[in-house]
Chains A and B, each alone.
Chain A
């Protein structure tokens, strides 16, 4: 099923800005949905994740701060939680270490995300966005200007797994 989304700017920072896909008809963006789903169940993990993003916004989004996920050809990465014992994972796209497109995520209880239907869908959504984003960057329909995405930020993706 084709669904429309907007890459919504959540926060801008000195070195990194945060965007998130916001599907048409929904109240919250994907990252906001992730926060709302887990902030009361795993409050410490979510606090650490939010503060981690603050540090990244301030200092930069170098690859070594993330876990590589997805495939070699895409820009999908993950942020693990920091000090707690849960395996909460947030999936995101890292664009030139200047823009993070924060998706959704959840608890990783399987060896790979592909084995978990929810996590797999989170990653696939970002991969589909990444494919179209790269095409638009190539066609100059979207440009990366510092920490900003400029251009047509609405997308239509097939959201079926």
Chain B
């Protein structure tokens, strides 16, 4: 696969923790998006459910937003679905 020299140099400076943070953000956004797709729920309806604007919800789904724990929990409860799971803990502890 062809890669770009300047991008490769920058890649060499990306800390593993930052990569993990970005992967998690994308994974969370994808999880929320998949749940909405399964329910055939529009972003507009989801925004209404959460009491937020469509712009804000769009930002959540972009994978570039740093969602707070509080917001993640509100989304989980509103959708009745786990968004994140903690390694090593049974499900009941997460959605008690």
Contact = CB atoms under 8 A, between A and B. Distances in A.
Contacts of B62: 64-67, 80
B64 A52 contact: yes
Interface residues of A, number: 31
A10 B4 CA distance: 5
A141 interface: no
Interface residues of B, number: 25
A16 B33 CA distance: 20
A32 B23 contact: no
Given A11-B4, A64-B61, A51 B13 contact: no
B63 to A, nearest CB: 6
Interface stretch (B14-22, B45-53, B71-79, B82-90): B14-22
A55 interface: yes
Interface of A: 9-13, 18, 28, 32, 35-36, 39, 43-44, 46-48, 50-55, 59, 64-67, 80-83
Given A11-B4, A64-B33, 12 more contacts: A10-B4, A36-B6, A43-B13, A47-B14, A47-B18, A50-B11, A50-B14, A52-B22, A55-B26, A55-B63, A64-B58, A83-B21
